[in-house]
Amino acid sequence: MSTPNDHDIKVLNGLIETTLDSADGYREAATETQDPHYRTLFERRAEERRRVVDDLSAAVRGMGGDPEAEGSILAKAHRAFLDVKHALLRNDDSVVGSIENGEGYIAQKFERALRDGEISATTRETVRRNYEAVKAGHDQMHALKQSLQSQRDASSPLYPT
């Protein structure tokens, strides 16, 4: 049986699934890094993503739906690949680069949801409010990736001094 909230619930559950993937990725990155600063940063981002999931889940429940409880299988496979890659490269640059790519993906999903003309105004506001946190995370990881890239370039013997 179809309800007027079905589309909103579907959109929100898609965002929940992706945000759970993001939280799991940050939690895993926190355990992988040897740098305490990065560990703290990744743990904070994982907690922030869990708050986004909680807010989106409350909205789904408020519409009479069942919120998504797990991330995607594709993301689990991707994290397994990153574990192998990180073990081979043994540096935080590869972890930060992978996180930044994931942040781009989650930001795009939220942006698509905001452009969805079929969602209700209430759902759009929920998505917009949580997109702000997602966008801040994306921007922070992008800046960190750029900083690490600049440091690596500056230490290269080919870098002009």
139-148, pLDDT tens digit by residue? 988 888 888 7
Full DSSP string of 7-51: HHHHHHHHHHHHHHHHHHHHHHHHHH---HHHHHHHHHHHHHHHH
Interval 99-129: pLDDT, tens: 777 788 889 999 999 999 999 999 999 999 9
Fold of the domain spanning 6-154: Ferritin (1.20.1260)
pTM: 0.81
Tokens 């640059």, residue located: 93
Which residues of the chain register pLDDT less than 70?
1, 71-95, 153-161
